[in-house]
């Protein structure tokens, strides 16, 4: 693999790795912590379905969408900066 000699390229790549790492950490926490504690919040929401089902089925989709939006906005800002 070729090394980047340009300091701007190195700074750009470092910022993109940081952004990606932070958003992957958010994704990991959401995928592990929310399902783990959803059973403790379990109560009947009507129709025989439980609160944990709605948390996982609806809430996580919104979080995934927010992660994608945060990546797009963050990457655009990093690209504009460098």
pLDDT digits (tens, 9 = 90+) for 28-75: 998 888 777 766 666 655 566 666 667 677 888 899 999 999 999 999
Residue-wise DSSP of 11-69: HHHHHHHHHHHHHHHHHHHHHHHHHHHHTTT--B-STT-BHHHHIIIIIHHHHHHHHHH
pLDDT at 78 over 60: yes
Q: Under 8 Å CB-to-CB from 46, ≥6 apart: which residues?
A: none
Question: Within a 10 A sphere around the Cβ of 22, how many other Cβ atoms?
Answer: 14
Q: What is the pTM of this model?
A: 0.75
């Amino acid at each position: 693999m070729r090394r980047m000699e340009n300091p701007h390229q190195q700074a750009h790549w470092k910022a993109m790795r940081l952004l990606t790492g932070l958003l992957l950490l958010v994704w990991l926490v959401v995928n592990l912590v929310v399902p783990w504690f959803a059973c403790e919040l379990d109560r009947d929401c009507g129709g025989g379905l439980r609160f944990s089902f709605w948390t996982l089925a609806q809430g996580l989709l919104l979080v995934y969408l927010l992660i994608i939006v945060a990546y797009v906005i963050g990457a655009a800002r990093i690209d504009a900066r460098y």
